[in-house]
């Protein structure tokens, strides 16, 4: 085999390795059809994290503004919580499509709150919805908090 051909083959293998490494960190979303379509409610059934991924855990983000103010309005708190989550992701150098799992805590949850939750999740994640669990709670760490979101993030 000539030296030029050997270099071409080795170069091609290196490029293929780089391409594979670049896509190896992507999350795989799994929504089995026999479970129905969870995206209608703003989440995915499961997300597979690459085996060699580094994982970060973002603590619960409430609806506090940078000034420490907390609106008494549920929808406003949810929107601010997701803005705070976005800021935490940015601080990690991560993007929303790197979030594998959300856990949301809703004070005095009822079905009327689902629309607000879905709107904010889709607003942040689009069609790359993470796995998600909603936990109804009687109260959170601070009495006036109505919502909190925490995240598991795959770093690249």
pLDDT beyond 70 at 147: yes
d(CA 90, CA 101): 17
The lowest-confidence range among 20-29, 66-75, 134-143 is 20-29
Check residue 24 and give its pLDDT: 42
Asked if residue 7 has pLDDT above 80, the reply is no
94 is written with which tokens?
């991560």
- Give residue 25's pLDDT: 66
| pLDDT tens figures, 121-145 | 999 999 999 999 999 999 999 999 9
Give me the helices (H) in the chain, please. Answer: 3-24, 74-92, 114-125
Percentage of the chain surpassing pLDDT 70?
A: 84
Residue 49 has pLDDT above 60, yes or no: yes
Q: How much is the pLDDT for 20?
A: 34
What is the per-residue pLDDT for 76? 98
Is pLDDT above 80 for 149?
yes
Cβ neighbors of 120 (< 8 A, separation 6 or more) are 78, 79, 81, 82
DSSP assignment of 10-30: HHHHHHHHHHHHHHHTS-EEE
DSSP-derived 3-state class of residue 120: helix
pLDDT at 120: 98
12 pLDDT band, cuts 50/70/90, is: very low
């Amino acid at each position: 085999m000539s030296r030029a051909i050997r270099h071409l083959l080795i170069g091609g293998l290196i490029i293929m390795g780089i391409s594979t490494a670049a896509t190896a960190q992507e999350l795989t979303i799994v929504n089995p059809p026999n479970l129905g379509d969870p995206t209608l409610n703003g989440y995915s059934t499961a997300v597979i994290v690459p085996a060699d991924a580094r994982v970060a855990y973002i603590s619960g983000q409430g609806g506090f503004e940078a000034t420490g103010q907390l609106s008494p309005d549920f929808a406003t708190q949810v929107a601010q919580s997701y803005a705070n989550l976005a800021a935490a992701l940015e601080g990690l150098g991560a993007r929303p499509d790197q979030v594998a799992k959300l856990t949301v805590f809703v004070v005095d949850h009822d079905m009327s709150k689902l629309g607000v939750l879905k709107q904010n999740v889709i607003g942040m994640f689009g069609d790359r919805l993470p796995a998600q669990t909603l936990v109804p709670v009687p109260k959170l760490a601070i009495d006036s908090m109505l919502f909190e979101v925490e995240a598991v993030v795959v770093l690249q």
